[in-house]
């Protein structure tokens, strides 16, 4: 066995050893993907999710189903749900940190314009979406996946 083969063998063994601490090796599989529910009218006898008034360049937190309106513009963002979550659980040592993927609905109600976007907390995709000359950025997702922190800036 030459030096190159020895180095390759050591790297492979190190990868296997590190993988033993991953969430998959520990029997902690990624959370299943949940379908994204589209917001609709509130059911009789219930109240609609609250709407926060927010400004540009300020962080704010939304609960699942909650919306935020820009105080200076006809712009609404709603957290519609957790789409996927492969993040490492607390107390686990993982080979890969994973990421959470959340769905948001972006709208300009006065113009009737609307779109949806998926924002990623990790490096698997973008943590930003642009709509109506504004950029929505995902800052954080809580461990339970039912609250997100966003920031809106001018695009």
Domain contains 25: no
3-state secondary structure at position 144: coil
Does the structure show a pLDDT above 70 at 5? Answer: no
Look at the chain and report how many structural domains it folds into. 1
List pLDDT tens digits, range 115-139. Answer: 999 999 988 899 999 999 999 999 9
- Give domain status of residue 118, yes or no: yes
8 Å CB contact between 51 and 57: no
Assess if residue 76 is contained within a domain: yes
Could you give the CA distance from residue 50 to residue 47 in angstroms, rounded to a whole number? 8
State which residues form the domain around 103. Answer: 30-37+47-154
Looking at residue 41, what DSSP letter applies?
P
**Surface-to-core class of residue 104, CB atoms within 10 Å of its CB (0-12 exposed, 13-18 middle, 19+ buried):** buried
Query: Do the domain assignments include residue 136?
Result: yes
Residue 103 belongs to domain with CATH number: 2.60.98.10
The model's pTM: 0.69
Band of residue 91 on the pLDDT scale cut at 50, 70, 90: confident
The whole-number pLDDT of residue 123 equals 86
- Does residue 12 lie in a domain region? no
42 in a structural domain: no
Among 66, 85, 57, residue whose Cα is nearest residue 141: 85
The per-residue pLDDT of the chain, averaged, comes to 80
């Amino acid at each position: 066995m030459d030096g190159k083969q020895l180095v390759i063998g050591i790297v492979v063994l190190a990868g296997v050893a590190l993988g033993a601490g991953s969430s998959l090796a520990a029997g902690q599989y990624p959370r299943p993907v949940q379908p994204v529910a589209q917001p609709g009218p509130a059911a009789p006898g219930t109240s609609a999710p609250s709407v926060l008034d927010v400004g540009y360049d300020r962080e704010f937190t939304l609960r699942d189903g909650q919306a935020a309106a820009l105080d200076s513009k006809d712009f609404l963002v709603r957290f519609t749900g957790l789409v996927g979550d492969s993040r490492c659980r607390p107390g686990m040592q993982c080979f890969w940190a994973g990421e959470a993927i959340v769905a948001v609905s972006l709208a300009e109600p006065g113009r009737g314009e609307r779109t949806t976007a998926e924002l990623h907390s990790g490096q698997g995709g973008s943590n930003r979406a642009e709509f109506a000359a504004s950029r929505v950025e995902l800052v954080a997702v809580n461990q339970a996946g039912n609250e997100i922190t966003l920031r809106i800036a001018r695009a």
